[in-house]
Structures are given as structure tokens and as C-alpha cells.
Amino acid sequence: MTNIDFKAEVEARKTDLLADLFSLLAINSERDDSQATAETPFGSGPVAALKQFLSLAERDGYATKNVDNYAGHFTYGDDLPDEAQVLGIFAHMDVVPAGTGWNSNPYEPEIRDGKIYARGSSDDKGPTMACYYGLKILKELNLPLTKKIRFIVGTDEESGWGDMAYYFKHVGLPEPDFGFSPDAEFPIINGEKGNITEYLHFSGENNGRVHLHEFSGGLRENMVPESATAVISGDLVDLNAKLETFIKTYATKHIRFDIENGIENRKIVTLHGRSAHGAMPEKGVNGATYLAKFLDEIGVESAFTKIAGTLVFEDHAGKKLGLAFEDAKMGALSMNAGVFKFDEHSSDNTIALNFRYPQGTDSDRIYAVLTKLSGVAKVTKSAHEHLPHYVPMTDELVSTLLSVYEKQTGLKGHEQIIGGGTFGRLLKRGVAFGAMFPGDIDTMHQANEFIPVDVLLRAAAIYAEAIYELAK
């Protein structure tokens, strides 16, 4: 390995790195299908962030390519022979919805107590810029490389990955030979579970002593719903007292509620939980399932609330549904009930269940079990599915990245397999690498998302050396 002090090189560029990162964090790049056009396939925000990122690369002298505002890349090493291998680096500019509960504007980044607070600070704009500056250091030091580098940035990682599907189909270049995504944690993520969302469909029929008119909860399938709202009528005597008792029963979950008056003696009840990443639903408090349980207890008779409030309630492994499964290497299946939609006048009400499943089971088995649930009209699958992915420890990509991590941190590297899905799985020889360190607080997909400045700088130094070792 080289003796260059990459940490010192990063520190010398700290001010510029933070300025460039803030220029990206200030852009609300949530997917917005209401703004989708031929020019803005996932809304105007993701496009704006993509263009800003590519403009930074152009400023620094890279050759860039924007593939119809779906994704883009810049290249380094164009002077190398055509047959030179290509190292791919995959990142993304889109973010999940900010939601509520922030102590500051999620799109006005600020540093408090050494932490950068903003939506996208840790997922994935912060790690992206740490990696970008890692490569920038190699370029400015003019270190000799034998492999080309293609830094690819998408705009739909948090949804259906339509950006990468379009990119690979239209970019006119072969896939990189190997690569990594700075969109997870250290020491490495060399395995990822399969990922599928399956939708339970219900009629609007319900005829209990409490009538459910509407129910909504959740922003994205890969987020734990932080809150849910129901419109109800009927036997609502002592509704406030019943809610107070319910809240006290689950006091350790820190849930809370609001009640408003609606039309025609209806009540609008909102229950607030806590959001979390859908790959780790146990870290959140699913406001939708708690509200469904409450409604089930006070007299709503609906398959929608029965399943949400009993079979799905507080079960992140699918045990009550009969879906629990565990693989010795890849771990256990997990389930996140992410989006709930109900209208009494609709014949197609849905609960979206997002599954992260290990090798040894599959989406068809999950589907077969779900179709047998009483009260479910039908089950459908999302169009996009990720199959389980694994790159062995013996692969030079994995061993090189771990050796860099060990050198820079003094910590022992080891393999990790997660339920989350990253762009690392786009390549057969692809992994995720950083930027969270062991013991760091994970605030991805949560209110008050942050990344510590020192973590950002440590990661940038690791990325610089890692890219050099992989491409030298």
C-alpha cells in the first residue's frame, strides 16, 4: 500500500468538501411522480441534484455524461487503453421523503455539535461526496492507475431503481468489471438479502359498531410509517379515554395521538410512532399497525385492520403470517409494513409489505402464503425485485477493501450481510463499502438525519486509499 497520508489530504480539502456537499443537500431530491415528465422522469428534484453533481465533476475537469436525466457518470482514466478494466462506483442523489419531526429544515443543511443535519446527509449525498473527494485526491496528486474509473450517480435508488435500468440500457457502455457503492457501512457489505414488496388487496367493506371511512399511513415501502390517520364514525363514546389507555399500554413505544372533528360526526384520529429504515423495521414504531390495532379493539370490523393490527402488528419476522425463515449465512427474513391505503368506497385498498429475504426462500413462497390469508381479495408483487446477492471473502475486491479499512482504522475487518439494498448489487462483483462505522448511530430514513463531520472525513480518506488500491 502507498505511504501517502490520505487523512491529511482530506483535511486540506475539508472546507471545499463541505461546501460541495451543502450544495447538494440544499436540493430537495425526493421522488415526485406528480412532476414526472420526459425531462424529469422522477420529478424535478432528483434531476436538479444530478445536474448539480455533474457540474461539480465538470468543474474539476472530468468528462461527464447525463443519460436523459435518469442517471449520469463521469470518467477518469480515459487515456488508458480500451482494454483496461473499469472500476465502477455507484451512488445516488435521490432521498426518501423528509417527513415530520425535524428540529431544523431538512433542506437547509446545518452543522450542530459536529454533525451535519439534512435529509440525505448519511443516505447518500454525504458518503457520495466523501467518495468523490477520495477520487479527487488521486486525480490532484496525479497518482498512476492502470484501471479506469466510472463514477455513476442515480436518481431512483430509494424507489424502483428505474434509473439504473434505464442507464444500463441507454448508456452505450459495458458494465464496469467490478465496483462498490458508498451507501451502507464499514467494514464492508458483501451480501444483501433479496427484496420484494407484495401488496395485500382488500375491499372497503366494514360494518362494526365503529365504521372506518378512510385510513392512510406510510410514505414509502422502505420506511417504517411514522404516523397513520383514520376517519371513523359510530360508537365513539369515550374515544379520548380509550386512546389514552391504549397509549399507556404501549408507553415504552412513546406513541402519541391527535383527534380532530370531521364532517357528519366523524372523528379524525392520527397516531404517531417513529420512522426507521424498512430494512430494520424493529428500530421504528409502526404508527399504522398501532392505529389499526386500536381500531380493531374499539369495534372496527374489517379484514384490513384485523390483519394490520394483529398479524402484522409488532412482527418484523413474519412469524404470525407463517413466513419466518432463516439462513445460516444470510440471516432471517424481515418484513416492513410500509404503506397503508383504505377508502370505504374503493374496491382496491392495500397494505404494502416489504420483505428482505435470505437465500433458501423466495418471493413465490411468500406470495403463496399471503394468498391464503382470510379477507384478502388478492395479492400482487412489485414489478421490481432484487434476488439475494453475495460476493465471497476470497474475491480480491473484498479482501482489498477490508485491508484498507483495517490499515486506516486499526480494526479487524469482517464480512456483513444486510437486509438493505444498495447499488453494490448491480454488479456480480459489487459490494457496499461505508460510510457508517461500527457503533455509529444510524439515522437513515429518519427525522433529524445526520452524519458527523469527522465520520465524513475519515470515510473520504478510506475511499481515497481504497480506490487507489483497486485501480493502481
The average confidence (pLDDT) of the chain is 96
CA–CA distance, 466 with 131 (Å, rounded to integer)? 10
Which residues are CB-contacts of 50 (< 8 A; sequence separation ≥ 6)?
66, 69, 71, 72, 93, 153, 155
Q: Do 37 and 78 fall into the same domain? A: yes
> With b meaning 16 or more CB within 10 Å and e meaning fewer, what string describes 173-183?
eebbbbbbbbb
Query: Can you give the pLDDT at residue 2?
Result: 61
Last residue of a domain, one of 356, 381, 406: 381
- Does 435 lie in the same domain as 314? no
Active site residue 16: no
pLDDT at 3: 86
362 is catalytic: no
Q: Which of 9, 30, 124, 157 does the annotation list as catalytic?
A: 157
Say whether both 372 and 399 belong to one domain: no
pLDDT tens digits, 299-345: 999 999 999 999 999 999 999 999 999 999 999 999 999 999 999 99
- Whether residue 119 sits in one domain with residue 239: no
Residue 28 has pLDDT above 70, yes or no: yes
90 close to 179: Cβ distance less than 8 angstroms: yes
Q: Is the pLDDT of residue 168 over 60?
A: yes
Q: Report the number of distinct structural domains present in the chain.
A: 2
For the entire predicted model, the pTM comes to 0.86
Q: Do 186 and 332 lie in a common domain?
A: no
For cell 400482487, name the residue: 380
Cβ neighbors of 69 (< 8 A, separation 6 or more) are: 39, 40, 41, 47, 50, 51, 155
Q: CATH number, domain at 306? A: 3.30.70.360
pLDDT digits (tens, 9 = 90+) for 388-415: 999 999 999 999 999 999 999 999 999 9
Is the pLDDT at 1 greater than 60, yes or no?
A: no
pLDDT class of 420 with cuts at 50, 70, 90: confident
- Which of 106, 133, 91 is CA-nearest to residue 30? 106
Asked if residues 468 and 5 have their Cβ atoms less than 8 Å apart, the reply is no
Which three three-digit cell numbers place residue 326? Answer: 432463516
Q: Which residue has the cell 457518470?
A: 73
Q: Quote the percentage of the chain above a pLDDT of 70.
A: 100
Task: Taking residues 173-197, report their average pLDDT.
Answer: 97
Is 36:17 a contact under the CB 8 Å cutoff?
no
216-247, pLDDT tens digit by residue?
Answer: 999 999 999 999 999 999 999 999 999 999 99
Rounded Cα distance, 471 and 180, in Å: 13
**Does 375 lie in the same domain as 226?**
yes
| Domain region containing 162 | 6-193+388-471
β-strand pairing of 71-76 with 63-67: antiparallel
Among the listed residues 9, 20, 30, 94, the single catalytic one is 94
Nearest one of 439, 441, 458, 460 to 449, comparing CA atoms: 441
Q: What is the pLDDT of residues 87-127, one digit of tens each?
A: 999 999 999 999 889 999 999 999 999 999 999 999 999 99
Give the domain-ending residue among 331, 364, 381. 381
Judgement on whether residues 439 and 457 belong to the same structural domain of the protein: yes
Asked if residue 208 and residue 189 are part of one domain, the reply reads no
What SS3 state is found at 412? coil
Q: Answer yes or no: do 99 and 179 share one domain.
A: yes
